[in-house]
Each structure stands twice: as structure tokens, then as C-alpha cells.
């Protein structure tokens, strides 16, 4: 397998590109130019036929297998992407781009509105999952990649994978959709709306025109806490924390304070999740991306019939987790039924895990086997 | 059946009493005096043996079958309590008291701290479900009622019913526990902590020392939204709202705004639930009562073995709803197992409803039959 041309600045870690656009948007209007921050791992084969696009989830980013620049933590899917890993960068070119509307370098409410020279804030156009996918297609054009060997994603990444296959069937050889759904349910929307209201209730939000040094951190932390509860299963929370009390200097085994400190370990955990999130994520971006997810209804985009979204040109693999109550197995099964009706080659597995929705990000040899088996050894 | 003495000011609607106490509290210390706001319906029999105590849930109050003084809405359980109703006020004296720590007249953070002459705020002692029950026992002493024919409650009201039977077994003939649990799970605690953080993140909260005219309404509304999601089932939300869009003046069938208005009906519903709640409830009281519920672990109070909490002197009825994911049927079943081990006469039924936890407050002929059957016709 030959490597891509050496010193091709389009490939590598921490890449940024400004594409002229215009990118037509589902909500009307268009965006131009389109900034995209992305990373690539491995090398493009001479036939440009070994590319795998990895799509990230709500609060993920392009650092799928490189340290996060703000937190220093390992990439969010290092166990899955790398040399010899299930998504094998010895054989594949792996691309991961920060989604449109996010805050890690791609166009979003925190980037500069060319019309004003100031951050877009809430003047940024509301975008959809399909808009994110269209922006990624522009990036692939820029990279000289006509067709993806596969598109892979979990949660909102899975929505993008579905939207890729529906929007550009000729450009997607295979789609691997993990812990995801073809439409946001009323309960999904409710949790997101709760988070948005928490952000917008924070006086520091200021209609989105906050100073980057004084963001609505309190509201965003509450939003993150709410979301985090949905990522874990009841059984997982019980196993991990139960009703165990937080250790204190004067009480190593913990004791009820009969106050409003974080007495229970689960309280400390949630507070920590909320507080650490605000250091790495933008509040307006959180509003925009949750909105895109709530609008996601793939059947609606195709006349109300989900089967009409799909073509037999792409082969599919659906994975769900038995304790995921955010996007339960029934959601994956509905997609599989539609794929069967569309005549698309489809495999489907429900994996067992105590960890709920978060399972797709955690150590799971069973998931590794499924990913490896579905993607094969590639070119 | 003779009526209680006429003009006995202790009985009737909208009663308030200041009891000298002191009331010893689980968290240490004591409360004196103890204010209790309550209502009674029906008449006490000469033998004082026909009293039924109805215990309210987190945001409920003493107005079980009389209009709410602030909202003008019917009592929260009018379909269950009244002449000829399953809890029949033609035959029973029904008592309902605002719980300790709440905000409808009983001692709580919004009442006056006698030491300062100002509202307690966060200086009010943290209380437990058992403290609420002990305060109710003081009220029964005041009313001349030694033993309850029955104690009845749903959700936190069910916790009080369990705590009554465990704390004062000789005073409780029967306990009817609906949609409740013997201990708050990690997930239960997580949702409550989320709500508390939303309140405390509101700058208007001011450490609890807010002006009654400027309460932390935004934070409390978010807390209520979070709680409300847990009261409904996923299926119930889908049935009630699905992904239906909100009608607008220019679009009677609704349309996506590609903005952050409440596009989906479920969003409008949640916003309404949050906003209307803050008009009738105190933010500090919300903190105190959720804390009491999180501390609730009946087994822990009895050496870690739930069966040791119960005596055969009380007969029990447990009711759960199949779609209640807040306090699922497994929680009720755990209580039933403990009651069986304790040798207490126990019946148990899981009812089918699409409405999740809220089902106990909604029209349910099946629940009516269970309540009527368990309580019997009384004296």
C-alpha cells in the first residue's frame, strides 16, 4: 500500500481548512465560507478507496485518537482507532472532523461572522445533522476522496452515518451505526430542552453574546449533568455508586452531612462532570448541536417512510446496547426493518453492557469484534 | 356514626396549629415550636377509629380535596378523596398535612425562625421523611387520634406511609403505598441533585436568602422540568406529544422555526410546567424536601435489613405501575419481600398504565378499585 504524497498539508493531525462554500442549509440560507477543523490518521491508498470517516457525538470532537488540546486527555476513541485497532490506521485513512456548529475549530457560534467581524453567537444559522454531513462532504472533496469505504459513528455520530448513507449513497460503501436512532423521541427532545433552558436561564448567557471569559458556566454545567444521567443506566449508576457516601477528611467512609454538600458519591460525580465540561465546551455550541439532534428525523426527510431513506448501494451494521435507554434497541431495530425493506445488506447486534448509552465509548471487546468484523481488513 | 363535637376548631379545611414541640430531628437538634398546616375532611367517629392520614408527594400539599389557594385548581386527589370516593369522607375522617420542610404553612425554610424573626432560609434544619412523620404524629396527638385506621400515600407520600408503619407500628392499622420505594436509588438521587444544582446556580438564590418577591424562579423552573421528565414514561410522552410541532399564529399545524423557540409541543409543555410551578412553590423548600427523599433508606434505619423495619401489626398494600421508571415495580417487590419476611399481611398489585409515575395522580379505575377494596367500608 502506497502512502499519500509526502508533506501533503491536507493530511495529518490538527488540520484546519477554510472552504469557500456556499453550503446550502436545511433551514434556508447558506454558509460561506465554511471552516472545518479535522484530523486524519494513516495514509490514503493510491486508489483513494481506503478512507473511513469517523463521526463524533454531541460533545465529541476531531481528536478521536490524539490528545485533547484543552484537557490533555487521550482521544475519545483511542481504543478503537489506531495501528492494529479495530479501525486500523495501518490500513485505513481515518478522518474525523469537528461538526458544523461545534466549538473546536469548525464554523459555529463561537467562530467569526464575516459580516460583523465578531463571534456569530445566536446569529449563527441553525443547522441540522444533514448540514453537518454536507460540510463533511465538502471536506472529502477537498481531500480528493470520492467514496468512503465506510462511515462510522456512535450516538450523534451514528445519526451522521445514517444521514451520509441517505444523502450520498454513492459515496458510502458501508455504514456502521452504534447506539443511535433515526429520529429523536419526545423524551430525547425533553432532556435536550431541559439543558437548553438551563443554559438560557443563566444570566451570563446574555442572549448568546457572552464574553468568552465569562461564559454561562453554571447553566451549562447543569445541562451537562442532565445529559450525563441519560448516558448511564440505572443499573450502571447503582453498580458504580449505589448510595455510597463521599469520603471526607473527618470521615473517610463518609457520613451524611444533613446539609447540601455532595454527601453521595453520585452527587460528587455529577458535579465534577458538569464543572469539567464547561472548561472544554461552548454553551452556544451546545444549544446548536442539541437542536440539530432534536430536528433529526430521517423518515421525515424522505416523505415519512424510513425505508425510502436508504439504498442497497451501502451495506449497514447496527449496534445497540441492552441497557441504553437514551437510544434503546427498539430504535436500532426500527432502522434494521427499514433497511431490510430497502434491500440493503444489513447486520444487527444488541450487545450486553451494564453501562447504558456510554457503553459505546467504554472498553468492550464485543464491540471491538463487531467493528473489526464489519470493516474487514480493508485494502 | 356520630360526628365530632360541632365547632371543634381542630377540624376542617385550612387549619393551622402551632405545637410546642420540641421535635427531635434525625439530623440532630430539635425544632420548637412546630407549625403544621393541615385539612380534615369528614368526621371523627366516637371511638376515634376511622381516621385515614393521606400523605402528599414532593410538591403536593394539604389541599388533597379542596381548591389550591394560589392556583384555584382542584385538590390534587379529589378523584380519590370525598363523599363516596375510594377514600370515603362519608365514613372516614381524612387528614392531610403539609409536610415539614414544605411551603404551604408548615414549618420550613420559608417560615419564621423564632431566633431571628426572619425566614429560616438555609438555616432551617435538614429534615428526613421520618421527621415529617414524627411531626404528623404530634398533629394526631393534638387531634386526639391514637391510632390510624390507615395511612395512604403515593410517591413521597408512600415513603411516609412506610415510615409511619416502621416508626409507629402500634398506631397504624393499615398502610397503602403507591408508586413508591423504600430507598432512593443512585439515579433518583442524581435527578434530585440536578434540580438542586439548577436552583443553587441561579444568582437569585443568594444562598437561600432571596427576597420572596425575587425568587430563583429560573433555576426552580429548570429543576421542575427535570423532575417532570421522570414523572412520565417514554411511551406516555410519545403518545401525548411524539414529535408534533407547536401551532403558531402563522402556522396552525406548526413548523420548524430553525431557531430556539419551543418548536415541539413537548418543549412548550415542559416550559409551561416549569413556569407554572414557580408561582406555587418555594425554591428552598424544594431543596429541603428533595434532600429528605434522597436520605430515605428504610433498611438503613433498621440495621440494614428492610424486613426489620416492619411489624405484623400493620397490614399493607403495595401498588406499582408498569411504566413507572422513577420507582419501578422492582422497588415495590423488594418491599413486599421484606413484608413477607416480617410476617405482615400484604397484598401487592402492579397496574398497567402508559403514564409512568404520574399514573397515581391520574384517572385510574383500577387504582380506585384497589384503594376501595383495601380500605374497605370502614366503621
**What 8-state DSSP symbol labels residue B305?**
-
What mean pLDDT comes out for the span B24-43? 97
Which residues in chain B are classed under CATH 3.40.50.1820?
15-182+298-375
Partners of B118 in the β-ladder: B113
Chain B, nearest residue to A259 by Cα:
B126
Is residue A160 within 8 A of residue A132, CB to CB? The reply is yes
Which residues of chain A lie closer than 8 angstroms to B267, CB-CB? 189-190, 193
pLDDT over 80 at A378, yes or no: no
pLDDT tens for residues B226-252? Answer: 999 999 999 999 999 999 999 888 888
CB atoms within 10 A of CB A99: 33
pLDDT in tens, A25-52: 999 999 999 999 999 999 999 999 999 9
Cross-chain residue pair A271–B197, CB shorter than 8 Å = yes
* Beta strands per DSSP E along B66-187: 81-82, 87-88, 93-97, 112-113, 118-119, 150-154, 174-178
Q: Tens digit of pLDDT for each residue in A155-181?
A: 999 999 999 999 999 999 999 999 999
Residue B166 predicted with pLDDT over 50: yes
Q: Would you place residue A5 in the very low, low, confident or very high pLDDT band (cuts 50, 70, 90)?
A: low
Pick the range with the lowest mean pLDDT from A253-257, B60-64, B155-159.
A253-257
Q: How confident is residue A379, by pLDDT bands cut at 50, 70 and 90?
A: very low
What angle separates helix B129-143 from helix B156-167, to the nearest 10 degrees?
70
Other beta carbons less than 10 A from residue B352's beta carbon: 10
Which regions of chain B carry the CATH code 1.10.1740.110?
188-287
CB contact under 8 A, A189 and B267: yes
B204 near B216, Cβ under 8 Å? yes
CB-CB neighbors (< 8 A) of B27 in chain A: 256, 258
Model pLDDT, residue B6: 60
Nearest to B379 by CA among B150, B40, B117: B150
On the question of pLDDT at A249 being above 90, the answer is no
Q: Copy the grid coordinates of residue B292.
A: 429528605
pLDDT at A325 over 90: yes
Question: Would you place residue A122 in the very low, low, confident or very high pLDDT band (cuts 50, 70, 90)?
Answer: very high
What is the predicted ipTM? 0.94
Contact residues, chain B, for A221 at CB < 8 Å: 197, 201
pLDDT digit string, tens, across residues B271-291: 999 999 999 999 999 999 999
Taken as a whole, chain B contains a residue count of 379
Distance CA A100, CA A105 (A): 9
**CB proximity list for A198: less than 8 A, separation 6 or greater:** A219, A220, A222, A223, A226, B198, B201, B222
Q: What is the mean pLDDT of residues B211-215?
A: 93
With beta carbons under 8 A apart, name residues in chain A contacting B270. Answer: 190, 193-194, 197
For the domain covering B188-287, report its CATH number: 1.10.1740.110
Which residues of B belong to the active site?
155, 324, 357
Q: Supply the DSSP symbol for A169.
A: G
Rg, Å, chain B Cα set = 21
> Least CB-CB distance to B126: which of A197, A243, A258?
A258
| pLDDT range class, residue B4, cuts 50, 70, 90 | low
At residue B294, does pLDDT exceed 50?
yes
Looking at every residue in chain A, the average pLDDT score rounds to 95
Confidence label for A255 from pLDDT (cuts 50, 70 and 90): confident
Contact criterion met (CB < 8 Å) for A266 and B203:
no
Distance CA A364, CA A10 (A): 33
Homologous superfamily of the B15-182+298-375 domain (CATH):
Alpha/Beta hydrolase fold, catalytic domain (3.40.50.1820)
* From-to residues of CATH 3.40.50.1820 in chain A: 15-184+295-375
Distance in Å, alpha carbon of A151 to nearest chain B alpha carbon: 27
Q: Left if phi > 0, otherwise alpha if psi is -120 to 50, otherwise beta: which for A324?
A: beta
Please report the pLDDT score of residue B9 as a whole number. 95
pLDDT attached to residue A377: 63
Mutate to test the interface with A, among B30, B193, B225, B334 (most CBs of A within 10 A): B193
CA–CA gap between residue A16 and residue A123 (Å, rounded): 23
3-state secondary structure at position B177: strand
Phi first, then psi, for residue B54 (nearest 5°) are -100, 125
Alpha carbon distances (Å) from A140 to A7, A51, A93, A161, B51: 18, 10, 12, 14, 75
Catalytic residue numbers of A, as ranges: 155, 324, 357
Provide mean pLDDT across the span B177-181. Answer: 98
Residue range A15-184+295-375 forms a domain whose CATH class is: alpha beta
pLDDT at B250: 80
Cβ-contact A190, B237 below 8 angstroms: yes
Amino acid at each position: 500500500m502506497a502512502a499519500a504524497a509526502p508533506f501533503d498539508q491536507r493530511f495529518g493531525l490538527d488540520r484546519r481548512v477554510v472552504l469557500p462554500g456556499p453550503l446550502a442549509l436545511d433551514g434556508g440560507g447558506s454558509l460561506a465560507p465554511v471552516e472545518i477543523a479535522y484530523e486524519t490518521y494513516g495514509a490514503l491508498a493510491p486508489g483513494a478507496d481506503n478512507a473511513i470517516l469517523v463521526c463524533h457525538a454531541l460533545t465529541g470532537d476531531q481528536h478521536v485518537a490524539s490528545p485533547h488540546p484543552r484537557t490533555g486527555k487521550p482521544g475519545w476513541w483511542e481504543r478503537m482507532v489506531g495501528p492494529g485497532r479495530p479501525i486500523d490506521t495501518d490500513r485505513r485513512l481515518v478522518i474525523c472532523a469537528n461538526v458544523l456548529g461545534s466549538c473546536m475549530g469548525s464554523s459555529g457560534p463561537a467562530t467569526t461572522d464575516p459580516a460583523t467581524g465578531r463571534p456569530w453567537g445566536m446569529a449563527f444559522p441553525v443547522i441540522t445533522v444533514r448540514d453537518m454531513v454536507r460540510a463533511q462532504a465538502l471536506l472529502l472533496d477537498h481531500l480528493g476522496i470520492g467514496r468512503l469505504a465506510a462511515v462510522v459513528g456512535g450516538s450523534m455520530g451514528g445519526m451522521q452515518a445514517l444521514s451520509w448513507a441517505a444523502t450520498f449513497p454513492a459515496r458510502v460503501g458501508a455504514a456502521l451505526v452504534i447506539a443511535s436512532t433515526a429520529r429523536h423521541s419526545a423524551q430525547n427532545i425533553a432532556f435536550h430542552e431541559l439543558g437548553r433552558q438551563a443554559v438560557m436561564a443563566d444570566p451570563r448567557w446574555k442572549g448568546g453574546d457572552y464574553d468568552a471569559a465569562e461564559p454561562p458556566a453554571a447553566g451549562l454545567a447543569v445541562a451537562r449533568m442532565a445529559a450525563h444521567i441519560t448516558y448511564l443506566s440505572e443499573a450502571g449508576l447503582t453498580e458504580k455508586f449505589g448510595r455510597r457516601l463521599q469520603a471526607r477528611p473527618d470521615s473517610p467512609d463518609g457520613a451524611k452531612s444533613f446539609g447540601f454538600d455532595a454527601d453521595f458519591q453520585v452527587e460528587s460525580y455529577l458535579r465534577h462532570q458538569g464543572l469539567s465540561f464547561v472548561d472544554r465546551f461552548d454553551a452556544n455550541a451546545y444549544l446548536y448541536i442539541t437542536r440539530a439532534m432534536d430536528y433529526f428525523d430521517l423518515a421525515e426527510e424522505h416523505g415519512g417512510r424510513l425505508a425510502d431513506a436508504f439504498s442497497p448501494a451501502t451495506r449497514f451494521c447496527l449496534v445497540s446496547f441492552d441497557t441504553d435507554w437514551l437510544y434503546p434497541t427498539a430504535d436500532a431495530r426500527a432502522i434494521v426493518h427499514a433497511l431490510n425493506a430497502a434491500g440493503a445488506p444489513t447486520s444487527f447486534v444488541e450487545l450486553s453492557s451494564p453501562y447504558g448509552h456510554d457503553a459505546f465509548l467504554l472498553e468492550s471487546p464485543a464491540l471491538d469484534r463487531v467493528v473489526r468484523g464489519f470493516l474487514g481488513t480493508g485494502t
